[in-house]
């Protein structure tokens, strides 16, 4: 186990904090750790009939539009279930009567504490979406039978979406 010797906040932003820590390693040596602190997030697999609802949106850091499952960060003191319902509505315009928690995982534990809560959403009702002002998203409906084929292409490059879809395929097989 590593012991923190000192910690310095390098950057504090709206969605993350970057800290540089000096740590004492188990072997007695000293090393530096750069850590991104994140409030956590949710990813939702919205099932609408025989389709999954994806969102397509431009992601500035990678400079391309990505096909993703709806997702978003937890607000302060917000339960993951409430975040999932809020983000699903904001991004797709659908409300879920039923949410099922599938898995919780770290996205990149080598440098971040971000934790992702994966939900399955069904019994959906269409309303009008209310995306954040800085989000431009488009709903894309994909037949469940085409998910495996989609995973084998380069059309999905987003890790949380890949993980979510593999969990979904596993969940569907268990339910049959």
The catalytic residues are 133
Q: How far apart are CA 78 and CA 27, in angstroms?
A: 40
**Cα atoms in the Cβ-side hemisphere of radius 13 Å centred on 72:** 25
Q: Do 120 and 100 meet the contact criterion of CB atoms below 8 Å apart?
A: yes
Residue with tokens 């970057």: 18
Tokens at residue 159, please? 């890790």
Q: Which residues pair with 141 in a beta bridge?
A: 53
């Amino acid at each position: 186990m590593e012991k923190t010797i000192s910690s310095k906040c390098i950057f504090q932003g709206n969605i993350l904090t970057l800290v540089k820590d000096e740590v004492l390693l188990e072997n007695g040596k000293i090393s530096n750790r750069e850590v991104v602190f994140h409030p956590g997030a949710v990813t939702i697999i919205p099932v609408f009939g025989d389709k999954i609802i994806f969102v397509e949106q431009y992601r500035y850091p990678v400079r391309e539009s990505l096909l993703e499952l709806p997702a978003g960060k937890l607000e302060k003191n917000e339960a993951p279930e409430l975040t999932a319902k809020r983000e699903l509505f904001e991004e797709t315009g659908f409300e879920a009567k039923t949410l099922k928690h599938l898995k919780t995982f770290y996205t990149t534990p080598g440098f971040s504490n971000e934790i992702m809560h994966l939900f399955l959403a069904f019994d959906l009702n269409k309303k009008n979406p209310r995306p954040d002002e800085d989000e431009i998203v488009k709903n894309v409906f994909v037949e469940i039978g085409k998910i495996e084929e989609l995973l084998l292409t380069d059309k999905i490059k987003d890790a949380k979406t890949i993980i979510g879809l593999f969990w979904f395929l596993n969940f569907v097989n268990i339910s049959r």
